[in-house]
Structure 1
Amino acid sequence: MREPLWEIDRTLKAKGFRLSNPPSTYIGPVFPYGNKVIVEIEISDFSFSELPVVRLIDADELPVQHLAHVNTDDTICYTGQGGLPLDIYNPGGSILRVLEEAKETLERSFADGATAEYEAELASYWKGTTIYVALPSSETNAIFDSELIVFGIGEKQKRALVPTGKWKNAKTSSRQPTTTISFNSTLKHTPAFKSENLADFIDWIKRQPNGPAGLQEKIITSAADSKPVFVVSPNALIGWHPVFPPNIQLLKSASGVRKSFLRKQLVNSLSNVGLRKMTGLQLDLKQVVKRNLYGKTTLIEKKISMVGCGTIGGHLAKLLVQSGAGCEERFNIYDTDILRPGNLGRHVLGYSDLEQPKAIALAEHLGQFHPDVQIAPFHRNAVQDWSSIERSDLIIDATGDYNVATALNELRMNSKRSGDELAILHTWVFGNGIAAQSFLNLNDGLACYHCLKPIFGGSWRQSPAKDVKAPQQIAPANCGEAGYVPFSADAPTVAAALTLRAVLDWAEHQPGQRLRTVTLNHAEGNDVKWTSPKRSNSCGACNG
């Protein structure tokens, strides 16, 4: 590969750039819609693992008043959310692509485009201290009370805006009453937006269409009470603490000052009240879940019960919670066992949970994902609790235990609930980690779990094993621990991922192939095509 610096230097100078700060900072023109703009490009990493920085130097010739995507330090935010792949083997061409992206970014501010672009990134221009916002989205414009909480310990302390009284289990060290103003539509931009005083902020917020009633009154009252104010909208999560001038600070610290007098003095000093700004990052559970399933159906509001909190269930439960289980509806998890030392090699739980009931320990582990997750652990036999779990939308059998799976299958087949009302999904590791499998039963005329092995002692109908007669290896009991089926930790994690995909397909009302197999050990296993087996005439559950 040729020396990248020389190629970049030759390429930029050919475009009218000059070296301004050796070894690799250049100044030169770009031409958005033919208008000359002077920019500076700083290349600090020729592998492009860090992208070049482009700064706006002179934009006097641009026929626009406001420029979007230009930060306060004049750097141009030219990369989209998907990043910007650059070719290290063509450094000159890569730098030209960076300049083209910067030019196109400036062009988006033409023809009043800056307004839409600016509004889309409104919060990034506010430049406040970062906090988390865990407020549910509002369908109406409203003003309501909330709390700014501090949680965590020492240097790991964080702040979050939550509904009043929520996150009681988050081990908070303080709770400060806060006023939240909610808009259900995009906030509009005016030159007063980046103001540093309360008067300009009130002027800006009053200009928003369909603002809630009593807006100015509530803001001034909150400021008089030293309460933070936060604004929540689809395009911005921004707030502030009031910073009082000396005369107001003196009145607030004095005793016997009437609130009405203090408020009057505050109204007369609005332009002198500073704003200690905050910028919010979305932490509402629904938004966290929906982010990675953008446009897809989540598990939010689904009634899900999972039986088995072992090696598959532990990994699967985390994936389910990240997909919406436990959001707006309780996520029930069952297991009769406790965590033992022999479980640690494949389990999501660790040594601090030893001798604890798996369901209870796993619920605590899942609770660390988000304080609003609703997990109900049960250290008891789910089969004997059928009257409760039958009310679920989906039952997941993650035990990998043939007896439990058969018992749950029998109960499901005898249930009067239709497949649209109750689904059951089994998952297991086949043999000694040969494959991971999942099977969905909607009781809709296709096979049930027992149909997969209708004759006790017979073979599985869709076995992934090359030698279907090869016995499963069982590790012998040792030092007080029972025997177990040995397989590596990849098998249960694959089973969990395979099962999550089946769950999400079910949630989309597109269940697809009911029996799914991922073969892991190709020395002992065959690839098995995903299929929806028909019922077996020998199945006692279907034909009994």
Structure 2
Amino acid sequence: MDEQEVLRTIDAALRQEGFKKDWSQSAHPYYVGRIERHGLEAEVSIEVPDLDFVDPPVIKLLSRGKAEGKRTPHLLGPDDMVCYVAKGAMVLDRYDPGGTVLQCLKLAEKVLGDGLRGRSDLDYADEFSQYWAAGPSILVDLPEGFRGDGEIFYVGLSRRAKDKLVLAPKDGLPPSLKALHAANRGIKATPEIAPCRIVRVDRDLGADRGGALPRNLRGFAAFLDRIGVAHELKLALEVGTGLTRWIAICAPNAICLAEIKIPKRFDRPEFMKSRKSALPKLLLDRTEDVAVERHLGSPIDERFLYQRNLGTVPSLAGKNIILIGCGTIGGFLAYNLAQSGAGSLGGCLTLIDSDRLSPANLGRHILGMSFLGQNKADGCAEYIREQLPHLAVDGRPVDATAILKSLSGDLVIDATGEEPFSIALNHHAVSQRPNYPPVLHAWIVGNGGAAQVLLCDGPEHGCFKCQKPKLAGEPRYRVMRPDSDNELLRNPACGDGLYAPFPVSASMSAAAFALDLVLAWNSGDPRHRYRTRVLDPDRSFQIKDMNLTPAPECPACQTRAQ
């Protein structure tokens, strides 16, 4: 079916329903008609911007008939676009364009009908944040349950973009955001601030079923009165300078902010200084003249950022985790650990590596050219602090072999991929049990044939050396196929070690594999501590995940037994 046939089919289907094409509104097929079914009377438009039907037709409510003025859920934006299907929730049939537009129209009719009859009042509260938003969103970094005096900080999160507004407690902007502002706006630059009254209510906004959303101070005062916090308005108007006042309402279903814009005629010393205490009364006597712009708050606090994506899996918040090796695996793993909460809520993520980033590393490292010549641990820590607020990330540019005896924390991760170091770390961990943290090893086998991880967290399970008790002997579980070559190449510089060529996908897979086991350990049920993920089946054997049993001839375990 060519494009012209698609257009003719859509036109015939909608004209049969009484819709008329409006050539003046859009370059795409655009029709206007009435819905008069089951007591519902409303005028709507339907536009089909995507003839492949990857995106659904856009349906808007133009008038509500007898229900004019009634609050209705599932309407987005100032032009009342009907939210009748969630993106990706339904596959539309591009080979039946006429039937598809009628199917969408029917769904929109039901959504509108239920809303206009009051059957979807609970949905309005669920979606309240979408209706409230009018101005730009504001980032919100507040401790749990905080109320009282806060501040709006104008923070330069990027050199290229204008300042972003962040709501935080008074004098409570996270140090990481202050440092980011200084890096982007000048070393001595500090964010501009505006006072903001923070109000907290224990019921959903929008659940009271009353009133339109405020556009001026009169409507906002009525809104605050309906939710039982009318007295907070005077407190918000009393503080601050200039012609703007802020108030934030934190509810279970939304964080809504109001920017109160005082008319310019009040910008005189008699109102802003000598008679400042009288300003609230003067404004409240002229509420219709005072505009209010509504903003939606978007949380960026630690609990929200680093837990929401994990669902029921506990985040790494509060844990002290040491990651040794910030190279091809460790660089990606460091960032993944941070995204999972490592370094938040009192915990610390410590990164250890003595190596510097070289041009040869760029093809499979998380850091880019701007970090060339910088220590990898310091560079990864700096990169994480730039991208993710709040986190305590400590880069330590030291040789880990010198501090193996003194490592402490909740978990040590070995991402060096260097067998001699892993054997040394394993020796100290086993010999000092139970006074040494659990150790998780992660490495790539051969030229990206497989990724393996091993958690050593007690004598009842095998240690790293238990995989291959005799250095010159055979491993207990062979990963690489006998006919697979393990190619090692030499760097051009004298003194540089050999390296194994493999794609960056192997590095990322190994890091993700290690993170899965870290999260399983943190949840209290590691289950399989020895895991193998085959990346190249032609080069590697598939090994079943297991708990590695201690090897009777393991020299590390025998040393501990003695």
Please point out which of 308, 323, 326 is paired with 2:325.
308
Structure 1 contact 39–57 (Cα < 8 Å) conserved: yes
Work out whether 1:478 is the aligned partner of 2:492.
yes
Q: Counterpart in 1 of 2:313? A: 296
Paired position in structure 2 for 1:6: 8
Which residue of 1 is the match for residue 262 of structure 2?
A: 244
2:84 aligns with one of 78, 102, 106:
78
Could you tell me which of 350, 356, 359 is aligned with 1:341? 359
Q: Which moved more, 1:34-43 or 1:325-334?
A: 34-43
RMSD of aligned Cα (Å): 2.9
Shift, 1:15, TM fit: 4.0
Kindly provide the CA deviation profile for residues 133-156 of structure 1, in whole angstroms up to 9, marking residues without a partner as x: 23135336x223233223133544
Residue 188 (structure 2) aligns with: none
Asked if the contact 1:397/1:426 (under 8 Å) is kept, the reply is yes
Q: Mean alpha-carbon deviation: is it higher for 334-343 or for 264-273? A: 264-273
Q: Secondary structure at the match of 2:292?
A: strand
Residue pair 2:216, 2:292 contacting (<8 A) in 1 also = yes
What is the match of residue 40 of structure 1? Answer: 45
Query: 1:493: which partner in 2?
Result: 508
Task: Give 1:206's aligned residue.
Answer: 225
- Is the 2:40–2:113 contact (alpha carbons within 8 Å) kept by the matching residues of 1? no
Q: Call closer, same or farther: CA 1:324–1:44 in 2, change over 3 Å.
A: same
Residue pairs, 1:363-382, within 5 angstroms: 363-382=381-400
Q: Which moved more, 1:427-436 or 1:87-96?
A: 87-96
Match of 2:379 in 1: 361
CA distance in structure 1 between the partners assigned to 2:96 and 2:434 by the alignment: 63
Deviations 1:278-324 (A, max 9, x none): 33333334322233223332222222111110110001111111121
Specify the code of the residue in structure 2 equivalent to 1:400. Answer: G
Amino acid at match of 2:159: I
Q: Kindly tell me the number of residue pairs found equivalent between the two proteins.
A: 536
Give the C-alpha shift of residue 363 in structure 1. Answer: 0.6
Give, in whole Å, the separation in 2 of the partners of 1:268 and 1:62: 32
Alignment of 1:177-256 (within 5 A): 177-179=194-196, 180-188=198-206, 189=208, 191-192=210-211, 194-209=213-228, 211=229, 215-222=232-239, 226-251=244-269
Give, as a single letter, the amino acid of the residue that structure 2 aligns with 1:102.
A
Q: Which residue of 1 aligns with 2:112?
A: 106
Following the alignment from structure 2 to structure 1, what is the Cα–Cα distance between the partners of residues 86 and 37? Answer: 18
In structure 1, list runs of 5 or more residues that go unmatched: none
Bigger drift between 106-115 and 437-446 goes to 106-115
1:149 corresponding residue in structure 2? 154
- Report the secondary structure of 2:274's partner residue: coil
Contact 1:138 1:184 in 2 (8 A): no
Which deviations, in whole Å up to 9, do the C-alpha atoms of 1:180-202 show, x marking residues without a partner?
Answer: 22335422456445212223313
AA aligned to 1:4 is V
Counterparts of 1:272 and 1:159, CA distance in 2: 26
Deviations 1:391-422 (A, max 9, x none): x222211111112212222232234448xx94
Shift of 1:471: 6.5
Gaps in structure 2 of 5+ consecutive residues:
186-190
Q: Distance in 2 between matches of 1:536 and 1:252?
A: 85
Structure-2 change in CA distance of 1:97 and 1:517 (3 Å): farther
Tell me the equivalent position of 2:456: 441
Whichever residue aligns with residue 194 of structure 1, its letter is: L
Moved more, 452-461 or 28-37: 28-37
Deviation at 1:499, TM superposition (A): 1.1
The SS at the match of 2:422 is helix
Task: Determine if contact 2:441/2:454 at 8 Å carries over to the other structure.
Answer: yes
Aligned partners of 2:447 and 2:486 also within 8 Å: yes
CA drift at 1:463 = 2.4
Q: Which residue of 1 aligns with 2:71?
A: 66
> In the aligned structure 2, how far is the partner of 1:381 from the partner of 1:492?
22
Q: Is the 8 A contact 1:19 1:26 kept in 2?
A: yes
Partner of 1:319: 336
Shift of 1:487: 2.0
Q: Counterpart of 1:431?
A: 446
Instruction: Tell whether 2:182 aligns with 1:169.
Output: no
How far apart, CA to CA, are the structure 2 residues paired with 1:486 and 1:402? 17
Q: How far did residue 115 of structure 1 move?
A: 3.2
For residue 441 of structure 1, report the CA deviation from its aligned partner: 2.0
Residue 132 of structure 1 contacts residue 283 of structure 1 at CA under 8 Å; is this kept in 2? no
Q: Deviations over 1:336-361 (max 9, x none)?
A: 21112222222111222222111001
Deviation at residue 268 of structure 1 after TM alignment: 2.9
* SS, match of residue 525 in structure 1: coil
What's 1:135 paired with?
Answer: 141
Q: 1:92 to 1:541 in 2, by over 3 A?
A: farther
Query: d(CA) in 2 for partners of 1:99 and 1:39?
Result: 10
User: SS of the counterpart of 1:231?
Assistant: strand
Q: Cα distance, 1:61 vs. partner?
A: 4.9
Tell me which residue corresponds to 1:115: 121
The TM-score normalised by the length of structure 2 is 0.86
Whole-angstrom CA distance in 2 between matches of 1:30 and 1:389: 71
**Equivalent residue, structure 1, for 2:292:** 275
Give the corresponding residue for 1:453. 468
Q: Deviations over 1:343-386 (max 9, x none)?
A: 22221112222221110011111112222122011111335435
**Partner SS, residue 343 of structure 2:** coil
2:557 corresponds to which letter in structure 1? Answer: C
Matched with 1:24 is 29
Letter in 1 for 2:178: K
Which one-letter code corresponds to 1:10 in the other structure? A
Equivalence for 1:160: 166
Shift in Å at residue 534 of structure 1? 1.4
Contact 2:234 2:280 in 1 (8 A): no
- Match for 2:358: what amino acid? R
In 1, the alpha carbon distance for the partners of 2:479 and 2:329 equals 19
Contact residue 142 and residue 167 of structure 2 kept, 8 A? no
User: 1:50, CA displacement in angstroms?
Assistant: 3.5
TM-score of the superposed pair, with normalisation by structure 1: 0.89
